[in-house]
């Protein structure tokens, strides 16, 4: 560190520590008398009997009382426990040596090993890039899933939502994208997952090859609400670090809904009124702050896929509706399609990529529009066709749609271990549209 840097650093040094003491614990909240602190500041709660320190974050104030939420269980906290202020928000360590690791919301390896050396400190909460410094998205990115590359083309820096109910294949689709994409690096956030699903996703869906070029951040459903929220922010901060190094990063978050649920828990605990279907106003404030951090900047790009759990397959529930309005496209996984054995179960007619018109060639766009028209025609007449009420020759468009339907389904199907390049997908859809092959 140079002399000038040291001189600038000196005023920020803490010459003394600030302490408070625990007054009361109510549900998720810890109420403390002091220390003087600000929202988002990390504090340590000292457990005198075991000499342990529990991390907590300042989430609000009530008159002179500081309201904290813990990052871990609080069974050992007692009245009068010392609360130490740090004057800094949560900071993680990130760097190239973290690639291939599975970490928790605080950036610590889950396998119990110590952090690699040579990592750089990074704040988990940062401002989104200035809109005027974001370069336009003009370049396609290959995700290796035929239905997406051909019908819902994604660009470098685009943010897409994957909307689905439970058990329709979200995790499997994310695993396919992680293994097959041409992005330089994957950052995968598993938020609110069942404990057993984390290892299953890593070993079955992601695989050894996928993990070698990925960083996984896991915050399981049994962890406190704050840890689940921090998991999303930590994964985004890791992706931002590599974007600023000039890489094209693929961020996958499963799921945004559980982040919103965790924020609702915190909001209700600190006294926010429930607004829309029980969600507090802070939920709808935190989503844009999180989702807008991804995308392009002057150095690199973060292409993001966010899964959204839709309650009862209702695509208009509050979190799904809010998220769809923020993102640059949505992919809908349909239970009816999954029940027919078609995987990935993407409903092309309900899905859209807002940037495809700017990214695809005219020939590719024309072919995709023809296939979409044929699918729409068949869908509108499917009930008549299935009950035998439609007579061949009544409509030339419906006749053509009936002929094409099995070919389209065969084209959209893809095995989990099948890798298809972007060029192959585009060539195949053009051949299907022009020649029916």
Q: In angstroms, rounded to a whole number, what is the distance separating the alpha carbons of residues 247 and 239?
A: 9
Quick one: pLDDT at residue 173? 94
The Cα–Cα gap between 294 and 290 comes to: 8
User: CA-based Rg of the chain, rounded to a whole angstrom?
Assistant: 25
- Crossing angle of helices 281-291/225-244, nearest 10°? 20
Domains by residue range for the chain, with CATH: 16-89 (2.40.10.170), 96-353 (3.40.50.12240), 363-435 (1.20.1270.330)
> What's the token pair of residue 68?
């904290």
Residue 355 contacts residue 296 (beta carbons within 8 Å): no
Residues in contact with 103: Cβ distance below 8 Å, sequence separation at least 6, in sequence order: 109, 110, 215, 216, 217, 218, 234
pLDDT at 413: 95
Distance of CA 274 to the CA centre of its chain: 24
- Return d(Cα 104, Cα 190) in angstroms, integer: 10
Q: Is residue 25 a contact partner of residue 74, using CB atoms and an 8 Å limit?
A: yes
- The residue ranges of DSSP E strands in 5-99, in sequence order, are 18-26, 29-33, 41-47, 52-62, 65-70, 82-89, 91-94
- Residues 193, 314: Cα–Cα separation, whole Å: 21
Mean per-residue pLDDT, 184-209: 90
On the question of pLDDT at 299 being above 60, the answer is: yes
Q: Give pLDDT, residue 259.
A: 96
C-alpha to C-alpha distances, 214 to 40, 100, 383, nearest whole angstrom: 28, 5, 45
Q: What is the 3-state secondary structure (H, E, C) of 279-299?
A: ECHHHHHHHHHHHCCCEECCC
Average pLDDT over residues 215-242: 95
Mean model confidence pLDDT for the chain? 90
- Residue whose token pair is 């002091």: 34
SS3 content of the chain, % helix, strand, coil (to 5): 40, 25, 35
Closest CA to 159 of 16, 12, 295: 295
Secondary structure of residue 126 in the 3-state scheme? coil
Structure confidence by residue, pLDDT tens digits, 10-64: 555 556 688 899 999 888 789 999 888 899 899 999 987 777 889 999 988 888 8
Instruction: Say how far apart CA 110 and CA 5 lie, in whole Å.
Output: 35
Residue 437 reports pLDDT greater than 80: no
Q: How far apart are CA 33 and CA 43, in angstroms?
A: 13
């Amino acid at each position: 560190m140079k002399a000038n840097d040291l001189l600038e650093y000196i005023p920020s040094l803490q010459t003394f520590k600030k302490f408070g003491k625990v007054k009361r614990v109510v549900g998720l909240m810890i109420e403390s008398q002091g220390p003087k602190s600000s929202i988002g500041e990390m504090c340590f709660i000292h457990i005198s009997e075991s000499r342990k320190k529990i991390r907590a974050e300042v989430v609000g104030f009530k008159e002179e009382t500081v309201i904290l939420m813990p990052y871990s269980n609080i069974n050992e906290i007692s009245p009068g426990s010392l609360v130490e202020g740090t004057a800094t928000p949560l900071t993680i360590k990130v760097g190239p040596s973290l690639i291939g690791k599975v970490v928790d919301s605080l950036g610590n390896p889950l396998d119990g090993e110590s952090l690699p050396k040579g990592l750089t400190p990074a704040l988990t909460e940062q401002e989104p890039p200035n809109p005027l410094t974001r370069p336009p998205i003009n370049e396609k990115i290959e995700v290796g899933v035929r239905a997406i590359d051909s019908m819902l083309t994604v660009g470098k820096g685009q943010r897409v939502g994957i909307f689905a109910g439970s058990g329709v294949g979200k995790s499997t689709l994310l695993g396919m994208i992680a293994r097959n994409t041409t992005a330089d690096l994957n950052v995968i956030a598993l938020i609110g997952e069942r404990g057993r699903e984390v290892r299953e996703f890593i070993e079955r869906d992601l695989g050894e090859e996928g993990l070698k070029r990925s960083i996984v951040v896991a915050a399981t459903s049994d962890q406190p609400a704050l840890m689940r929220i921090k998991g999303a922010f930590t994964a985004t901060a890791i992706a931002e670090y590599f974007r600023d190094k000039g890489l094209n990063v693929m961020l996958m978050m499963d799921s945004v809904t559980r982040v919103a649920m965790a924020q609702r828990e915190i909001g209700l605990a600190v006294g926010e009124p429930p607004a829309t279907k029980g969600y507090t106003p802070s939920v709808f404030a935190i989503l844009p702050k999180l989702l807008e951090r991804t995308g392009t900047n002057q150095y690199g790009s973060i292409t993001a896929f966010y899964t959204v759990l839709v309650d009862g397959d209702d695509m208009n529930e509050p979190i799904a509706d809010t998220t769809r309005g923020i993102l640059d496209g949505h992919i809908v996984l349909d239970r009816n399609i999954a029940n027919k054995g078609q995987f990935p179960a993407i409903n092309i007619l309900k899905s859209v990529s807002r940037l495809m018109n700017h990214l695809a060639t005219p020939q590719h766009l024309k072919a995709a529009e023809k296939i979409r028209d044929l699918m729409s025609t068949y869908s509108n007449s499917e009930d008549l066709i299935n009950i035998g009420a439609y007579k061949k020759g009544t409509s030339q468009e419906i006749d053509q749609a009936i002929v094409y339907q099995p070919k389209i389904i065969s084209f959209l199907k893809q095995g989990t271990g099948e890798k298809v390049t972007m060029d192959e997908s585009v060539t195949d859809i053009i051949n299907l549209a022009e020649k029916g092959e």
